Amino acid sequence: MKYEFTILVPLYNEEPNLLRVEQELDLYIKKAPVKTCVLFINDGSTDNSLQLVQEISRRNEAFKFISFDRNYGLSSAIKAGFDHADTPLIGYIDSDLQTDPEDFNLLLQHIGEYDLVTGMRTNRKDSVKKNLSSLIANGIRRSFTQDGMDDTGCPLKVIKADYAKRIPMFKGLHRFLPAMVLLQNGRVKQVPVRHYARIAGKAKFHLLNRLAGPLVDCFAFLWMKRSYINYKVAEKNE
């Protein structure tokens, strides 16, 4: 069965959410505009998340998984998803389902013209502290990268696999995906999407790693930008 679109679902200790993730993504797959599959990336969970994704993958051929030997972090999980996806389009959604899988369709409408389309959360249902820290972190990142994106932390994205697989990932780079596509002379776009409150499980980020982490990562990005190798082959002899 040839799929065209892989939805990555990184997860760490998301046992309370996974059956709902299966239900919602299964519903989306049945009416998606392109042939779609799901790839869970278990980032060393210590609860029953691995057992659940194993069961989900056994009963539904459109669901696959990979599992790390320990916890490596979100950027590593996304990188592994990029490496293992074998479709021309790759999407990303968080396992907390604070964004709606149906909104992938809003992003897919533009992916022909653009190389990465990212959601921009509207009417966010997070706490005041979380919203404020996200606003500050996005402002810091935008001032360094000049990528024009208002919400790179939105966990709903679609990227062409050719661009995704050329991104040299490092810790924290999941916040810089639009900027990394721009370094490849790609085109990026942001689209408003819906946002919901988390109803199960616990958030993995807190005030310190929402602010200190992005600031440190910005300096790493500037180094990478100066050193980034980009070329375009004009002709070759097969």
Residue 236 lies in a domain: no
Q: How many CB atoms lie within 10 A of CB 220?
A: 14
Residue 206 lies in a domain: no
Token pair for residue 204?
């993995």
Residues spanned by the domain of 45: 5-125+150-200
pLDDT tens-place string over residues 183-229: 899 999 999 999 887 676 566 555 555 556 666 777 777 777 777 77
Q: What's the number of domains the chain is made of?
A: 1
Q: In this predicted structure, what is the pLDDT of residue 236?
A: 84
Buried b vs exposed e over 174-186: b needs ≥16 C-beta within 10 Å? bbbbbbbbbbbeb
Residue 51 lies in a domain: yes
Of the pLDDT bands very low, low, confident and very high (cuts 50, 70, 90), residue 170 is confident
Q: In this predicted structure, what is the pLDDT of residue 95?
A: 93
The alpha carbon of 51 is separated from its chain's Cα centroid by a whole number of angstroms, namely 23
Residue 76 lies in a domain: yes
CA–CA dist 45, 70 (Å, integer): 7
Residue 215 lies in a domain: no
Q: How many CA atoms lie within 13 A of 185 on its CB side?
A: 4
pLDDT tens-place string over residues 17-53: 999 999 999 999 999 999 999 999 999 999 999 999 9
Residue 177 lies in a domain: yes
Residue 65 lies in a domain: yes
The pTM of the full predicted model, rounded to 2 decimals, is 0.83
Q: What CATH code is carried by the domain that includes residue 96?
A: 3.90.550.10
- 27: region left, alpha or beta (phi > 0 left; psi from -120 to 50 alpha): alpha
Q: Which residues contact 205 (CB under 8 A, 6 or more apart)?
A: none
